[in-house]
Amino acid sequence: MAKSDALRQPASPQVEALFDRVAPVYDELNQTLSLGLHRIWKRMAVLWSEAQTGDRVLDICCGSGDVALLLAQQVGAAGQVEGLDFSHQQLAVARQRPQPDNITWVEGNALDLPYAEGSFDAATMSYGLRNLSDIPRALAELRRVLKPDKKAAILDFHRPRSIPMQQFQRWYLHQVVVPTAERLGLRDEYAYLEPSIARFPQGPQQVRLAIAAGFSHAVHYPIAAGMMGVLVVKH
């Protein structure tokens, strides 16, 4: 029996094309739009994954590779990092970065990971889960490739609980993010952020989805006044 479309496609063709188009300026925009804070949030995700020296670790939806590089520092020369993404152009940017020898870049599907069960000691995913076409399947695949008792940390946008912060997030997306992207000819590519955040499961829903996927423990940590969040799961 053929695999379903959801298994063949980690995200819609439109989303895949979007990430290919933004690849050349993706890092620059992240740095500008987050005021540099995205580096702190990503480092938090790496620390919450509990990757240790000598571990084999996986960064799913690795994009241009900045989190994978943080993981490489965390596991040291004795460790191994696999950075996986479905965007050929994002991986092309990742491969151009100065990097140690313990990183391997893989073009692959987050919904059908090309690894055996129990392959990794830790894993991360940054700003990827929200864009996948089948979140339960992605979580199940993540659990499958983790070793027993090991953890993964998933960083993504989040909707704040407080009304003032919701209003601020909406204002920031409309008045700062989209106009900045528009100056680079990428207005439509970044206008998708608000609807993607609106339909993304909230923290408690993410926890329930993780438990349903087979994780023994899951907790969601709101950060950046609730505009971001990190879901930490344990096999």
pLDDT digits (tens, 9 = 90+) for 41-86: 999 999 999 999 999 999 999 999 999 999 999 999 999 999 999 9
Whether 5 shows a pLDDT value over 60: the answer reads: no
pLDDT digits (tens, 9 = 90+) for 28-42: 888 888 888 999 999
| Contact call for residues 104 and 83 (beta carbons, < 8 A) | yes
CATH T-level fold of 5-23+36-159+200-234:
Rossmann fold (3.40.50)
Q: Which has the minimum average pLDDT: 26-30, 106-110, 227-231?
A: 26-30
| Mean per-residue pLDDT of the chain | 91
Per-residue model confidence (pLDDT) at position 8: 44
Structure tokens at 100: 């140690």
Q: Give the pLDDT mean for 16-22.
A: 72
- List the 146-157 sheet strands across, edge first: 103-107, 80-85, 56-60, 120-126, 146-157, 228-234, 217-223
Looking at the chain, the whole-number percentage of residues with pLDDT higher than 70 is: 93
Closest CA to 189 of 20, 32, 61, 9: 20
| Contact call for residues 75 and 55 (beta carbons, < 8 A) | yes
The answer to whether the pTM exceeds 0.85 is yes
Whether 3 shows a pLDDT value over 80: the answer reads: no
Per-residue model confidence (pLDDT) at position 32: 84
Whether 148 shows a pLDDT value over 60: the answer reads: yes
Whether 14 shows a pLDDT value over 80: the answer reads: no
In whole angstroms, what is the distance from residue 88 CA to residue 33 CA?
24
pLDDT digits (tens, 9 = 90+) for 175-186: 999 998 888 888
